[in-house]
Structure 1
Amino acid sequence: MQYKRRAGARGRIGAAILLAGSILLGGCINVNAPSEPIVIELNINIRQEVIYRLAEDASNTIEENADIF
C-alpha cells in the first residue's frame, strides 16, 4: 500500500510543478492587434467559368428544344 501512496504523492507533486510552471509562463505571452488592418487580396476570375457553364447549358437547352427556337 505504501507504494501506491508514494506514486500518488509523486503525481501530486508533478501536477503542482506543472501548474506552477504554467502560471509563471502565462504572463510572458503578449498578443497585440496590428496597427494596420489585415488585407487579403484574392484575384479570382469567376466570370469565365460562369459564362462557360451558361453557354453549355444554353446549347443543351436549344438542342433539346429545337422546335421552340
Structure 2
Amino acid sequence: MSGARINLRRGAIIAQALVLFVTVAACATVKVQAPDKPIEINLNVNIKQEVLIRMDKEIEDLIANNPDIF
C-alpha cells in the first residue's frame, strides 16, 4: 500500500511540475528592442581641480624663474 502512495505522490509531483513548466514557458517572452528615444547620460565632471593644479605648477615655475616678479 505504501508503494502505491509513493507512486501516486510521485505522479502528482511530476504532473504539477509539468503544469508549472508549461505555464511559465507560455508566459515568458523576452523582447530585445532599441528604445525610441536616445539614451541620455548626464555626466557631472569637475575639472576645476585639474585646472587649478596646472595653474599652481605654472605659477610655481613662474615664481622660480622670476623671483623679483612681486
Q: Is 1:26–2:35 an aligned residue pair?
A: no
TM-score by length of 1: 0.53
Q: 2:11 aligns with which of 9, 30, 46?
A: 9
Bigger radius of gyration, 1 or 2? 2
Q: TM-score, normalised by structure 2?
A: 0.52
Q: Give the letter for the 2:44 counterpart.
A: N
Q: What is the 5 A alignment of 1:1-69?
A: 1-27=3-29, 30-48=31-49
Q: Which has the higher contact order (CA 8 A, sep 6+)?
A: 1
Q: Which amino acid aligns with 1:24?
A: A
Q: Please, which runs of 5 or more residues in structure 2 have no aligned partner?
A: 57-70
Return structure 1 stretches of 4+ with deviation > 6 angstroms. none
- How has the CA–CA distance of structure 1 residues 48 and 10 changed in structure 2, closer, same or farther, with 3 Å as cutoff? same
Structure 1 gaps, min length 5: 56-69
Q: How many residues are paired up? A: 51
